[in-house]
Structures are given as C-alpha cells and as structure tokens.
Chains A and B, each alone.
Chain A
C-alpha cells in the first residue's frame, strides 16, 4: 500500500484510541482490589460479584427501559425529519433543521439544565420518563444523520412508479419506501439505543432519586473497593456496545446497497 508513513501514523492513532478499551478487560480479570500495575493473577470474581449488586440490577433495568423507549421515539422522530429534509423543499428548512440538530454541538450540560428548569417549572417530577425525554433530544440528531443517508439514496422513480400503479401517499410510504429504508431504521434504532445506554449527563440531572447504569457507575467511582467490579461491568458493556454497533453498521451498509447508493462510509 502507498503512504507508508501515513499508515504507521494511522495505526499508532488507532492504538491511542483503543488504549483505554484494551486496558479494561485486563483489570476486570486482574486479581487485585487496586487498579494499578503490576498485575497479580487471573480471576473471575469481579464478574461473580456483579450478581450480588441489587442496585446495579435496578440501574440496568432502568437503562434498558430508557434505552428502548429512546431508540423507538428518536428513530420515529428521525424518520419524519429525514424524510422531510431529503424529499421536500419548504420555507424555513435550514432554520428548523438547524434547531433540531443543535444538540449535536451544544454542551450536554446546557441542554440538561435547560430541561431541568423547564420540567421543574411546570411541575413534572423527575423520573425515568424525564431521562427519556432528554435522551430523545440528544439521540434524534444522530438518527436523522443515519436516516438521511438512507432516504437520500432512495430512487424517486420507484415512488412515482408506485403512484402510477394506483397507490396513494400513505400506502406508497408503507409498501415501497419503508422496506427500502428499513436497514437504515434498524441501524438508527441500535445506535440510538447504544447512545442512550452510555449517556450520563442527562441522566445525572434528570433522573431524580433513581439511577441508570452510567449514573450508578459514576457513583461507584467514589469507592475504591467498588472499582474492580465496575471494570467487569464496563467490559460487558463495551462488548455489548461493540456488538450492537457492528450489527448497526451491517444494516447501514445493506441499506445503502439496497437503495443503490454509494457508500461514503461512516455513520455521520
């Protein structure tokens, strides 16, 4: 391959990117209560300790509920926006889309305190429901980015053919467009679930007395003796995330191939 120097740089960069993730399982299986070198033997006791943490299981259940609700809601909202932005021209399009995509660049803490002020102002008690509201706000822009790629590569003539064959707008969407962008939708569901599962700030501000997995993890960092168990939990979460993302990537590519588009690579 050309660009030898660049390739060495790229590999070094990847090592830098993956360094913490590679360390994670090392400490999860390390037989020592302190997270430091040198290592002192292999153990699976930190994984076994996971079973005996009721607070963790409660947090995991919360995360699962929030994650599933978030992924469905934000993907539904993403479908509307992505379809509108790729198929129609309308006044104020730039402004409206800009506002919807804003959470991508705004610091999350600003979004979180803004939502907190609103929710407490109108008297909504903090719960997993309010966390979901926040997560949908954060996840929708990602969903739109993924789905826009899927809708973009859609061939307009397929839609026209469906109209010519006597279908109306709703049935055309249901029978022609939706199956074609289905891989994009699955990809969006999986990625928004992954983001929600990992999101901390919104949950930290909006969860009230309950906690999600990241909030639980953050609270455990204060206790040094709890950290090896967190490393074990983290290992499981990273494996889960990578699996979900790989499936999402598979569907994203299949979707683009199905609609005949050119793969420009990447989710964004």
Chain B
C-alpha cells in the first residue's frame, strides 16, 4: 500500500509555458492519458458506485429525520445535536479514542524494533520469509484469534493459570478481561503486521552508506540511529500510525467479544443504531461524527508534532532532527493522555478541550510560519 501511495504522485507536467489550451490538450487528450484513464475506468467506476456514492449517502442520511418505518426527507441537524449531547456517545467515543491511541502507541513502539531487525540484521534472501511469517497471523481467522484472547486472558485462562501455578499470584487477575485493557491487548496483537510493514519499507529505503558516513564523522551508533535512521524512518512511522489508528477506532469484533459492558466502542454503537434500533439517520450521524473526530485527532497529532519539532529545533538547532522527533512524539503522547484524563474526569469538557487544542496548535503553527518568513 505504501508503494501505491508513492506512485500516485501527480502526472508529468510538460515543461515550457505554451498556450493553456495546448497544455490542456497534452494533459487530457494525449494518447497515454486516454489509455490510462480507459484502463483504470472499470475499477474507478466500481469504487465510485460502491464506495464514494455510499459514503456520500450516509453523510446525506445523517441530516434526515427518522420516521417509525420510513426515513422522512425532512432536513435536520437534530441527529447531530442528539449525538453530540448524548452522554453515551461521548463516553463511547472517548473510550474508542483512548483505546485506539493506546493500541497505536503500543503497536508502533513494539513494531519498530521488529522492522529494524528484519531490515538491518536479516540476510536479504531471508527477509521475505520473515515478512511472510509476520503477515500470516493477520490473514487467518480474525474472529477465532480474538476469541482465543478470551482463553488467554480469562479467569481460568492461560495467564492466570500460569501465574497461579508459579505462585506469583493467589487470586486470578480480573483486570485484564471484559474491559478496555483486554480490547487494547487484542487489537495490538491484531494490527501488529500493519505497523511493521510500513516501517520496514521506510527502513529498507535508507541508503546504508549514510549510516557509514555518520559513523565515519565520529557519531556513536546510538547517535547515528537518532540523527540519521530515525528521521529517515519517520514517513514509515507516520503511515503506521495512520494505518493502525483509523481502523482500530472502528473495530467491532474485539470490543463486542472482549469489551464487556465497560469496553464497548463506536462501532458497537453504530451497529446498535443501524441493525437493532433501525435508526439509519442517527447511525449515520454517529458514524460521520466519529470519523470527523478521527480526522481532528490526526490533525491535532500532526500539528502538535510539527510544533514541538519547531520549538525543540529552535532551542537545540535543527541538525538534531532525531531528538526533536523523539521529543515531539513524547509531547504528543503526553498531551493526548492529558486530554483523555481530563475527558474522563470532567467528561463534558472533553470535546471543547480537544477542539481548543486543535485550533490553538494550528494558529501557533501559522504564527511561527509567519515569523519565520519575516526573518
């Protein structure tokens, strides 16, 4: 998926500014463009009809009114008002964001050394075997794998019976089943390959002579890693974060099997509204709202990490890219954590705080940019 993303960079612009019409003709009417568009049209048509149109439809539905058996075509903001003032939605969305962030942090942190090992220490001929071994569990029986975590984490489960057998504990641990913790553990397991692969691809692209150059210039192995490898691996880490964070927030199976009443997430709410309550407009509003929150959370995260890099860079000097990235990541985690803690304690204020943080960050970034261009 990474390769696709990179290939998809724009079209080849023709050089030399001739007439606009000529350029248009070359861009759209040249045989290559026509062939390309023809070639991709079946797939594009399928995706338009069964992806773009339906997504637009749920957006539309979220503004309609629910009758008892029919959906009435009366436009309203009522679904959104009800969604955003509902304490249940707030609680569930907050929990989902918290779980997803914890899962993302755990998977990406655990995946990095694994990707690093496969990229830097495994012989080239054996790399694909390792990657194959890593991806196999991802494609086998998701439902049953999730269910088996019940067996591992359960009251008479593997962990409890082992620890009691060893005499470490006398009572089974109950904190690891039917709550958010068990959801985090299971999702971190399910999404591991999704985090490893993009980081691996980014590490593979690093020109090894750069590392030698770093060592030759007198850096220690650790500093070479921090100042050369880490900044170059960052694009992979960023895509790993996106690829883990967005789908986990909408996971349905894990919270419904392992979450118990205190571990339900957004997808369970959406499913309830669509299939059980048969209220499509409300379900749509819930789905759209949670995707919007995901978008905002990602924007806050990236704005924040950019911001901290700048601030840190101003103190230390821009050469220390790796350390500033570490500082930025730590800062993002801390402030997200703080947001969630504040949200849990003073639940009503949560959305306001997240939004304020988002707006504040973007404003600060714009201000820094303007100061920079002045100087």
Per the bound structure, the CA–CA distance linking A99 and B82 in Å amounts to 31
Per the bound structure, the CA–CA distance linking A115 and B61 in Å amounts to 13
List A contacts of B139 (CB < 8 A): 191, 194-195, 198, 241, 245
Per the bound structure, the CA–CA distance linking A145 and B4 in Å amounts to 7
Does any Cβ of A come within 8 Å of B98's Cβ? no
The stretch among B222-230, B245-253, B329-337 that forms the contact with chain A is B245-253
Given A133-B50, A137-B50, A234-B144; A107-B247 close (CB under 8 Å): yes
- Flag if A121 contacts B158 (CB, 8 Å): no
Does any Cβ of B come within 8 Å of A96's Cβ? yes
List A contacts of B346 (CB < 8 A): none
- Flag if A137 contacts B36 (CB, 8 Å): no
Q: Which A225-252 residues have a C-beta within 8 angstroms of B?
A: 227, 230-231, 234, 237-238, 241-242, 245, 249
Chain A interface size, as a band, is 35 or more
Per the bound structure, the CA–CA distance linking A121 and B49 in Å amounts to 13
Does any Cβ of A come within 8 Å of B242's Cβ? yes
- Flag if B54 contacts A88 (CB, 8 Å): no
Does any Cβ of A come within 8 Å of B308's Cβ? no
Our count of residue pairs bridging A and B at CB distance below 8 angstroms stands at: 294
Contact partner, A99, options B2, B52, B161, Cβ 8 Å: B52
- Flag if B251 contacts A221 (CB, 8 Å): no
Does any Cβ of A come within 8 Å of B215's Cβ? no
Tally of contact residues, B, Cβ under 8 A: 100
Does any Cβ of A come within 8 Å of B121's Cβ? yes
List B contacts of A231 (CB < 8 A): 144
List A contacts of B120 (CB < 8 A): 3
Q: Which A19-47 residues have a C-beta within 8 angstroms of B?
A: 19-21, 23-24, 27, 35-38
- Flag if B134 contacts A14 (CB, 8 Å): yes
The stretch among B148-156, B173-181, B317-325 that forms the contact with chain A is B148-156
B contact face: mostly helix, strand, loop, or mixed: helix
Per the bound structure, the CA–CA distance linking A17 and B141 in Å amounts to 13
Does any Cβ of A come within 8 Å of B91's Cβ? no
Given A19-B152, A21-B137, A105-B247; A114-B57 close (CB under 8 Å): yes
What are 26 contact pairs spanning A and B, CB under 8 A?
Answer: A6-B117, A6-B121, A10-B118, A10-B130, A17-B189, A21-B137, A21-B145, A27-B151, A36-B151, A36-B156, A77-B46, A80-B41, A85-B8, A85-B40, A87-B39, A91-B11, A99-B51, A106-B246, A108-B250, A109-B270, A198-B142, A201-B252, A201-B253, A234-B144, A245-B135, A249-B128
Q: Write the residues of chain B forming the contact surface with A, with a CB cutoff of 8 angstroms.
A: 1-5, 7-12, 27-28, 32-37, 39-44, 46-48, 50-55, 57-58, 61, 110, 113-114, 116-118, 120-121, 127-128, 130-137, 139-145, 147-152, 154, 156-158, 161, 189, 192-193, 197, 200-201, 204, 242-243, 246-247, 249-253, 257, 267, 270-271, 274-275, 280, 283-284, 287, 291
